[in-house]
Amino acid sequence: MKRRTLLAAGGGAFLAAGGGLFVARPDPVSGLLPGAAHAQQASDTLPEVAEMVLGDPDAALEVIEYASFTCPHCASFHANQYKDLKANYIDTGKIKFVYREVYFDRPGLWASMIARCPNDPAFFFNMADILYEKQREWLASGDPATIVQELRTLAKTVGLDDATLDACLSDGAKAESLFTWYQTNAEQDGVNSTPSFMIDGTKYSNMSYDDFAETLDGKLS
């Protein structure tokens, strides 16, 4: 299912700061937050985006999942095929599994900023499981302010406090860095739908676990 690019149409980007909320209008051309033009000219000043990796980092076969925390098909994949994939291929060290977020909408970016708040893969993947499991609930209202509050509530269940969340959600440089990183990856790998997968450098769309296993076994052999 193809969806519109993040922030390219419609309203602004909600960020939480100091316990309150403010709206920053994106650039009408790039869709980025104010100051992005300067940030792009001096991209070396933006914080580096860490890859979120599971499994053996030195495994011969790399699988990259491109997914959005707001994508229902991604939630279904993580509730089903992913569990067997993790048990049989990731946890056994057969593959290096890389998760890359896709930002088709603002809530997906907010969720990512919270999941990446401690910059710790263990926290990230734990938070990702929660975001997918509770996806319908935190997205249900459709109201930006309510969605932010729902995300904050979920984050508090795994140990983040208000001060930490305020700092994470108001980090404009990190938001710009994540969005630029997403655009670069999506253009490089031709990603226009989620979930998509790069398996040994070849793009695949969503598939059943049996098809996934057959593809992986073929490449591993």
User: Among the listed ranges 62-71, 74-83, 166-175, which one has the minimum average pLDDT value?
Assistant: 166-175
pLDDT digits (tens, 9 = 90+) for 25-35: 444 443 344 44
pLDDT band at 21 (very low <50, low <70, confident <90, very high): very low
Instruction: Say if CB 11 and CB 113 are below 8 A apart.
Output: no
Residue 17: pLDDT above 70? no
Instruction: Say if CB 191 and CB 103 are below 8 A apart.
Output: no
pTM strictly above 0.95: no
CA dist 147 and 111 (Å) reads 10
Q: What is the pLDDT of residue 59?
A: 97
Higher pLDDT, 41 or 59: 59
Read off the DSSP letter of residue 140. Answer: T
**Burial class of 105 by CB neighbour count within 10 A (0 to 12, 13 to 18, 19+):** buried
**Burial class of 97 by CB neighbour count within 10 A (0 to 12, 13 to 18, 19+):** buried
Instruction: Say if CB 103 and CB 178 are below 8 A apart.
Output: yes
Tokens representing residue 212 in the block: 């996934």
Residue 141: pLDDT above 80? yes
Specify the CATH architecture of the domain 13-34+53-220.
3-Layer(aba) Sandwich (3.40)
CA dist 151 and 156 (Å) reads 9
Greatest Cα pair distance, the chain, in angstroms, is: 54
Instruction: Say if CB 127 and CB 156 are below 8 A apart.
Output: no
* Alpha-helix residue ranges (DSSP H) falling in 55-208: 72-79, 81-85, 106-115, 121-133, 135-139, 144-156, 162-169, 172-189
Residue 120: pLDDT above 60? yes
E strand or H helix at 99? strand 95-101
The neighbouring-strand residues paired with 54 are 97
CA-based nearest residue to 129, from 154, 160, 159: 154
Tokens representing residue 2 in the block: 């193809």
Question: How high is the mean pLDDT of the chain?
Answer: 84
Residue boundaries of the structural domains of the chain: 13-34+53-220
Please identify which residue in the block is written with the tokens 């969806």.
Answer: 3
Tokens representing residue 203 in the block: 């793009």
Q: What is the pLDDT of residue 44?
A: 58
